[in-house]
Structure 1
Amino acid sequence: MTVLMLDDVTLRVAGRTLLEGATFNLEPGRKLGLIGRNGAGKSTLLKAIAGEFETDGGRIRFAARARMGYVRQEAPGGDATLIETVLAADTERTALLAELDSAPAERAADIHERLEAIGADAAPARAATVLAGLGFDEAAQNRASREFSGGWRMRVALAQVLFLEPDVLLLDEPTNHLDLEAALWLEGWLNRFSGAVLLVSHDRFLLDRAVDGILHLDQRKLTFYAGNFTTFTRVRAERQAQTLAQNARVAAQRAHMQSFVDRFRAKATKARQAQSRLKALEKLPPIEAIVEDHVTRFEFPDPGELPPPIVTMSKATVGYDGKPVLRDITLRLDQEDRVALLGANGNGKSTFAKLLAGRMEPMAGEVRLNQKLRVGYFAQHQAEELDLRGTPLSHMQDALPTATETQCRSQLARFGLDQDKATTVVASLSGGEKARLLLSLTTREAPHLLILDEPTNHLDIDAREALVRALAEFNGAVILITHDPHLVELAADRLWLVADGAVTPFEGDIDEYRAWLAERARGPKAEAAPTRRDDRRQAAEARMAAAPRRARLAQVEKALEKLQAEARTLADALANPKLYESNNFDLINRATQRQAVVAKEIGALEEEWLELSE
């Protein structure tokens, strides 16, 4: 059985072919990740499947009575309440209710009958249940969508889909507006979802844990790979290696045959063999072209070194309009620190970042920045402030008025904006290219402290890996706010939890944080996040418990040292010829017996020493 079928589909945009002759089937319950470079046509393909974009050839069909849910990159907003937004997803119910107000009596009866059949009366209660499951209480459900952050609005979009209970779910970069907690929640939800999924994402973590197949859109072709993203990268590399080896064999065979033809074609005695080789040459398989992917590379300028610390906070409190958001922050930041901020949207991560960047003043306490500190602050909302009529080059020239054009182009080139892209109007840049422009502008003055608030939104997988490599080579401090666990694992060596009005170190890795979140979600009695103080207490308790064993270990080591010295003395004595010249057999016997006892005691103590050491 198949719920979605693509048959020889071709897609073109502005005369450019994005997809050519694509065919694949999606079975019930199957979850596929759709991947490819920025601009390859992934979102366009989803729109075509959803019926929002016309194909240039082929057919897209759904199974009879199959219901489709489509979650776009843009989260819902507006003045409608959350409950109204979710209910509006049922377009049939909405249309019938709207028609009912002015329908004649006969038509009104039909409408009432249909509303009863689709369970329209129970719909509000069902929508409220769905929203509650996603973390929205009754008060929140009656607030306007525009009052919520992008991450929470994305949950509303997912609530619409849950409410519809689709057979096929289309997701376009769903984690772009989610915090790390919500992204982890989405992974769990997808694993529980019983329908089929086609997921466009550049999130390696999600593609490794929530899909069972990969559709790779590359060079206008769709190629299917069974397994998750890690399996895809391995299998694709193996296929490319096989293709290269096959190409080498065919090329060598062609060269050998062509050499024979060129040498003997003019000779009558060899003409027939030459013609035969020509025919064989024509039958050889064509050499398959491999378009080598351009290696994406980012490079942060070297800031130079500052004496530590570069930032200190002592009982700092920060907030808005006299209302504290974070209290009593006492932290220190050195130039070699790489910190990822954890915590749900709305807990104050961006507020803390602005305090670090010097864009907010503390309401109480003290924040001290090194006088020579340069801070680079990247935030996705800055994309809205770009001049759509300008170019990356004009933006850089405005930001660096004393720099030459060559210097401005060089800074843009650090983030892959080459000669052509540097002079392309911003309105024509992709989301990933705008993110590269923002990174280039953020780092133009070689900052010592780099604050990155959701830097991977709209970046494709290759660009994300380039960012990881660049951060590894960067000689400054980094503060990361990201929903990408892969980036956290590879780029951060410290985690700070922003929650309950405080900023505290989290002593663990991203997997331990995931486990803590799951434990907390199970009930109010879940343990608080472990802190450095907790670790010190646990370490002290462990030391106290181990104290008797350590004392015995010291005793064993002293006894061993004494016995080993005696064993060496006995061995020297028994090896001396003068002992045997004295004919003192009683002394020889006692020494030999004592040597055996000492060896036995040493063996027993060595076993005990090994056990105590473990």
Structure 2
Amino acid sequence: MLQIQELVFDAWGRRFFDNATVMLPRTAKVGLVGRNGVGKSTLFKLIKGELVLGSGEIKLPREARIGSVDQEHPATPVSLIDTVLAADLERARLLSALDTAAPEAMGDIYARLIEIDADRAPSRAAEILAGLGFSTEDLLRPMAEFSGGWRMRVALAAALFAEPDLLLLDEPTNYLDLEGALWLESRLRAYPHAALIISHDRELLNNSVDHILHLADGKLALYPGGYDAFETQRAEQARVQEAMRARIDAKRAHMQSFVDRFRYKASKATQAQSRLKALAKLPVVGAIEAEHVAPFTLPSPERPLAPPLIRLEGVSVGYGGPPILRGLNLRLDVDDRIGLLGVNGAGKSTFAKMIAEALPLEAGHMHRDRRMRVGWFHQHQIEALDPVDTPLDIIRRAMPEASEAARRSRLAQYGFHREKVETTVSDLSGGERARLLLNLVATDAPHLLILDEPTNHLDIDSRRALLDALNDYAGAVILITHDRSLMELVADRLWLAADGTIKPFDGDLEDYATYVVDRAKARARAPTQVREAPPPPPPASTPPRKAPTGNARRRAEAAEAALGRASERLAAIDAQLSDPAVFTGGPERATVLAKERDQAQAALEAAEAEWLEATEAYEALKA
């Protein structure tokens, strides 16, 4: 599907790609991985033609359609469902053409609409939107009524609905909740064409892709399997390379020792010269350099408080109107690790604000120790950073009494060394900003950490470092994240925000994943007010003219040929099963043939149904 040959690209004073070459298989689902800042999003821009190659080639099949999600959908008066339906450009063009088509052309237009299954388009769009968290009532609302985050979901829905030949997704789960991420995993697995996905979500990379494309040192390397298989293969490559380097270094040392001893002895001079030539031909194998990731610093409280940390009794909370959450009766102990589940808008962030005392109660009581310190991270803190600030400016305000040397030392612990401490926020990557804030919220050794989507900008290695720090941290944690792997490895209890309240969830994340998928299917089956494709054209009042039937006739002929092949296949299997020798030579062959017959019978039934439908359509057009 996609071929990249000897790609070289330089920009912003550095080389992103250095003779990079790779070929992606047709219909492959490929996860593009690499450290923050190596050029993954730059590769997308090169594929789409938004940047000019230095040298090399990027090839796609002729007429291949590329789809991506570059920005949120604009706030227009067009309804949600019509916005997504418009993403199928061919269907939209054909429906528009019906308004002005001559009677003799309408037959071919309707035949093409049938071929692309246009009548199912509204229900297919509604199913995608339901999976991404939209309700049935949302379908007819104008786009202008949705916030920027929800319009990003619309852009993703439109890309999935259009089904381009190559789908490019850059961190698609960053603007999804856990429920949306779980649904997207299953949707990508069934995507009928090729997809290239930049993601640091380990579960998505394990469950939805069949190849990993690794970008490092300006090179691209393709590995079969998901992310776990990629890590195993990389580790084995490193082991083999290190073993080869050790062998060559030992051989080089032995030969150099011989040369040093005998190069000036006449009797050994020839052999010494021979070894010098051999030394020059030995390949240079570099030592494996592990990519270093600075650890997170999450100091534990020195003295634990008496349990419980927090007890809620009949609590309601909101923003002045009807309560967002009500009837909360919950208890949080000193070592609890709570994973907070629920769709966007269910009240998870509202709950976090209330626990952090950034939002007052409207009813009920919250009992808490006055000495309790809370560290609260939420993703909007990253957006609120002053772009002209530097990490040094920020830590000066966080540590006003500390010396300058102590502040710089603390930043070095966070992974910000000399060249980064005075870099402005606008020039820091999203991952660097998140790393700075995550470390800062724990500066005072809090008794409770509230983490609201902490991994959105972190690469996989940084997520692993955060996991290690959380496992070493001795306080309580409330975690809100779409990162299923982090949730599974940190949370030991799950609470579910739904129906205006929060209650303990009886089950694990596997149970919750099943719950989410079943709910999405049920919502997609719910009755909607979605307009269906237009009905067949009324009988023409103009003088009768013969309608073009070429496409319909070809479809009927193709269906008849397919029916013939399916019948022949079934007959051939039945002939083999009628041979007694098949059963006397062992049961394995008979078992295989029986399974093949079941498949052939199903194929025959499908072919018959297609033949009947195609024939009826052809006869209707002729009439």
Same fold (TM over 0.5): yes
Would you say 1:515 and 2:514 are equivalent positions? yes
- Give the equivalent residue in structure 1 for 2:161: 163
Quote the Cα distance in structure 1 between the aligned partners of 2:17 and 2:159: 27
Would you say 1:75 and 2:106 are equivalent positions? no
Quote the Cα distance in structure 2 between the aligned partners of 1:4 and 1:233: 24
Amino acid at match of 1:370: D
Structure 1 contact 355–362 (Cα < 8 Å) conserved? yes
- Give the equivalent residue in structure 2 for 1:245: 243
Displacement, 1:303?
Answer: 2.1
- Give the equivalent residue in structure 1 for 2:333: 334
Stretch of structure 1 that moved more, 350-359 or 138-147: 138-147
Displacement, 1:289?
Answer: 4.2
Would you say 1:126 and 2:125 are equivalent positions? no
- Give the equivalent residue in structure 1 for 2:383: 384
Displacement, 1:226?
Answer: 1.0
Displacement, 1:296?
Answer: 3.3
Quote the Cα distance in structure 1 between the aligned partners of 2:413 and 2:175: 26
Structure 2 contact 128–161 (Cα < 8 Å) conserved? no
3-state SS, counterpart of residue 378 of structure 1 = strand
Structure 1 contact 300–414 (Cα < 8 Å) conserved? no
- Give the equivalent residue in structure 2 for 1:277: 275
3-state SS, counterpart of residue 153 of structure 1 = helix
- Give the equivalent residue in structure 2 for 1:404: 403
Given the superposition, is the C-alpha separation of residues 476 and 186 from structure 1 closer, same or farther in structure 2, using an over 3 Å criterion? same
- Give the equivalent residue in structure 2 for 1:310: 309
- Give the equivalent residue in structure 1 for 2:203: 205
Quote the Cα distance in structure 2 between the aligned partners of 1:143 and 1:208: 36
- Give the equivalent residue in structure 2 for 1:228: 226
Structure 1 contact 87–123 (Cα < 8 Å) conserved? no
- Give the equivalent residue in structure 2 for 1:416: 415
Displacement, 1:26?
Answer: 2.0
Amino acid at match of 1:341: L
- Give the equivalent residue in structure 2 for 1:350: 349
Structure 1 contact 300–443 (Cα < 8 Å) conserved? yes
Amino acid at match of 1:486: S
Displacement, 1:93?
Answer: 8.9
Displacement, 1:89?
Answer: 4.0
- Give the equivalent residue in structure 1 for 2:58: 60
Amino acid at match of 2:280: E
**Pairing of 1:364-379 with structure 2 (within 5 A):** 364-379=363-378
Q: Deviations over 1:398-424 (max 9, x none)?
A: 233223223333443343223322211
Displacement, 1:522?
Answer: 4.8
Q: Deviations over 1:85-136 (max 9, x none)?
A: 43564678999999xxxxxx99x99xx9999998699989936741454224
Given the superposition, is the C-alpha separation of residues 93 and 30 from structure 1 closer, same or farther in structure 2, using an over 3 Å criterion? closer
Structure 1 contact 43–172 (Cα < 8 Å) conserved? yes
- Give the equivalent residue in structure 2 for 1:186: 184
Quote the Cα distance in structure 2 between the aligned partners of 1:236 and 1:79: 47
Structure 1 contact 87–124 (Cα < 8 Å) conserved? no
- Give the equivalent residue in structure 2 for 1:254: 252
Quote the Cα distance in structure 1 between the aligned partners of 2:213 and 2:63: 25
Amino acid at match of 1:30: A
3-state SS, counterpart of residue 323 of structure 1 = coil
Given the superposition, is the C-alpha separation of residues 177 and 287 from structure 1 closer, same or farther in structure 2, using an over 3 Å criterion? same
> Looking at CA atoms only, which structure, 1 or 2, has the larger radius of gyration?
1
- Give the equivalent residue in structure 2 for 1:174: 172
Q: Deviations over 1:485-539 (max 9, x none)?
A: 1001111111101111111111221112112223444548x9xxxxxxxxxxxxx
Quote the Cα distance in structure 2 between the aligned partners of 1:328 and 1:221: 56
Given the superposition, is the C-alpha separation of residues 308 and 124 from structure 1 closer, same or farther in structure 2, using an over 3 Å criterion? same
Displacement, 1:152?
Answer: 3.6
- Give the equivalent residue in structure 2 for 1:576: none
**Pairing of 1:18-57 with structure 2 (within 5 A):** 18-57=16-55
Given the superposition, is the C-alpha separation of residues 500 and 164 from structure 1 closer, same or farther in structure 2, using an over 3 Å criterion? same
Structure 2 contact 91–113 (Cα < 8 Å) conserved? no
Structure 1 contact 214–225 (Cα < 8 Å) conserved? yes
- Give the equivalent residue in structure 2 for 1:595: none
Q: Deviations over 1:553-590 (max 9, x none)?
A: xxxxxxxxxxxxxxxxxxxxxxxxxxxxxxxxxxxxxx
Quote the Cα distance in structure 2 between the aligned partners of 1:114 and 1:51: 35
- Give the equivalent residue in structure 2 for 1:583: none
Displacement, 1:232?
Answer: 0.7
- Give the equivalent residue in structure 2 for 1:297: 295
3-state SS, counterpart of residue 161 of structure 1 = helix
3-state SS, counterpart of residue 29 of structure 1 = coil
Given the superposition, is the C-alpha separation of residues 210 and 474 from structure 1 closer, same or farther in structure 2, using an over 3 Å criterion? same
Quote the Cα distance in structure 1 between the aligned partners of 2:144 and 2:439: 31
Quote the Cα distance in structure 2 between the aligned partners of 1:147 and 1:475: 44
- Give the equivalent residue in structure 2 for 1:286: 284
Quote the Cα distance in structure 2 between the aligned partners of 1:90 and 1:160: 8
Q: Deviations over 1:419-455 (max 9, x none)?
A: 3222111111011011112212322222211111100
- Give the equivalent residue in structure 1 for 2:4: 6
3-state SS, counterpart of residue 23 of structure 1 = strand
Given the superposition, is the C-alpha separation of residues 129 and 230 from structure 1 closer, same or farther in structure 2, using an over 3 Å criterion? closer
- Give the equivalent residue in structure 2 for 1:264: 262
- Give the equivalent residue in structure 2 for 1:427: 426
Structure 1 contact 151–345 (Cα < 8 Å) conserved? no
Q: Deviations over 1:322-377 (max 9, x none)?
A: 31111110111122111110011111000111111111111110112210111111
- Give the equivalent residue in structure 2 for 1:215: 213
Structure 2 contact 34–216 (Cα < 8 Å) conserved? yes
Structure 1 contact 338–491 (Cα < 8 Å) conserved? yes
Quote the Cα distance in structure 1 between the aligned partners of 2:49 and 2:90: 17
Given the superposition, is the C-alpha separation of residues 115 and 348 from structure 1 closer, same or farther in structure 2, using an over 3 Å criterion? farther
Structure 1 contact 299–415 (Cα < 8 Å) conserved? yes
Structure 1 contact 78–146 (Cα < 8 Å) conserved? yes
Stretch of structure 1 that moved more, 332-341 or 19-28: 19-28
- Percentage of pairs with the same residue: 51
- Give the equivalent residue in structure 1 for 2:477: 478
- Give the equivalent residue in structure 2 for 1:555: none
2:84 to 83, 86, 94: 86
Amino acid at match of 2:62: A
Quote the Cα distance in structure 1 between the aligned partners of 2:357 and 2:241: 54
Given the superposition, is the C-alpha separation of residues 159 and 500 from structure 1 closer, same or farther in structure 2, using an over 3 Å criterion? same
Stretch of structure 1 that moved more, 440-449 or 35-44: 440-449
Displacement, 1:249?
Answer: 0.4
Structure 1 contact 296–462 (Cα < 8 Å) conserved? no
Structure 2 contact 94–113 (Cα < 8 Å) conserved? no
Given the superposition, is the C-alpha separation of residues 97 and 17 from structure 1 closer, same or farther in structure 2, using an over 3 Å criterion? farther
Quote the Cα distance in structure 1 between the aligned partners of 2:358 and 2:107: 60
Quick one: higher RCO (CA 8 Å, sep 6+), 1 or 2? 2
- Give the equivalent residue in structure 2 for 1:362: 361
- Give the equivalent residue in structure 1 for 2:561: none
Q: Deviations over 1:384-410 (max 9, x none)?
A: 211111101101212332232233334
Stretch of structure 1 that moved more, 340-349 or 502-511: 502-511
Given the superposition, is the C-alpha separation of residues 7 and 127 from structure 1 closer, same or farther in structure 2, using an over 3 Å criterion? farther
CA RMSD of aligned residues (A): 3.1
3-state SS, counterpart of residue 417 of structure 1 = coil
3-state SS, counterpart of residue 389 of structure 2 = coil
Give ranges in structure 2 of 5+ residues lacking alignment: 526-623
Structure 1 contact 32–198 (Cα < 8 Å) conserved? yes
Quote the Cα distance in structure 2 between the aligned partners of 1:163 and 1:80: 20
Given the superposition, is the C-alpha separation of residues 29 and 122 from structure 1 closer, same or farther in structure 2, using an over 3 Å criterion? closer
Amino acid at match of 1:159: A
Give ranges in structure 1 of 5+ residues lacking alignment: 99-104, 527-614
Quote the Cα distance in structure 1 between the aligned partners of 2:234 and 2:51: 30
Amino acid at match of 2:53: T
